[in-house]
Homo-oligomer: A and B are copies of this chain.
């Protein structure tokens, strides 16, 4: 497949869904020149949203982190996170009791806004778990891995309750070339030990794309062929967008790079509609 200019691609659409890491930012900060892209979108009346597998913070806090980096065009209404879907699930399906969580106190605030009581797994008394009505994996920080992951296994052996994984990513990039284990991997490990089926939210699951689609079509109808998904990862952004029926563009500023893009498309069978060097418009 040959590479296209991002501008020549994006101008054909009414709405753009951006993946965050590897598309708008990397471990050093914003991708150079990405502000120009948002200026172009504004000038041409193209709307946009950021679809991100993240449950560590509320949409408002996620938006603030972009503003702080210099992308002032972002606000909380532009963010669609997997944490939002997990919160919707709790709103519909877990109306009472206390929700135990893995993550920081901050990650739980967003759930508490629903009026649900929450308790960090670190504070759960394993001998008194009858009041716990659900468990949510939010973030990889805020608890003692050894002590508290073992506590989860035993909590779930005592209580058959819904378990929600609010971020399905297995790892995420940190400084330089290093990665960190994401909460999705910890959830996979616990699920396999127990042989249970957890409820997962995040790309490539179509529910993430549908949630975004419902979000943007509240006021006006937008046909799917006027929406473009921009991502750096075949196995989440591209397959998810394809399956949802929208066009997809793979950018080469993150997980997939120029040297391996053709080999990866061939070996995975996941085929983007376009390939662009980056999402930057010069």
Let me know if B157 and A179 touch, CB within 8 A.
Answer: yes
A64 near B: Cβ within 8 Å?
no
Residue of B179, B197, B266, B267 touching A270 (CB-CB under 8 A): B197
Copies of this chain, tallied across the complex? 4
Residues from 179 to 219 in A contacting B, C-beta threshold 8 Å? 179-181, 185-186, 188-189, 192-199, 205-207, 210
Q: Are the CB atoms of A150 and B245 closer together than 8 Å?
A: no
Main secondary structure of the interface of A (DSSP, over half): helix
With an 8 A cutoff between CB atoms, is A243 at the interface?
A: yes
Whether the pair A207, B243 counts as a contact (CB closer than 8 A) is yes
Task: Write the nearest CB–CB distance from A8 to chain B, whole angstroms.
Answer: 19
Minimum CB–CB distance from A271 to chain B (whole Å) comes to 6
Determine the interface band of chain A, counting residues with CB < 8 A from chain B.
35 or more
Residues of chain B lying within 8 A (CB to CB) of residue A239: 197, 199
Q: In this assembly, does A58 line the interface, its C-beta being within 8 Å of a C-beta of chain B?
A: no
Q: A89-B245, A207-B210 are in contact. Are A192 and B188 (CB under 8 A)?
A: yes
With A92-B224, A197-B270, A245-B89 known as contacts, the answer to whether A153 contacts B181 (CB < 8 A) is: yes
Contact indicator A181/B271 (Cβ below 8 Å): no
User: Chain B residue with minimal CB distance to A217?
Assistant: B214
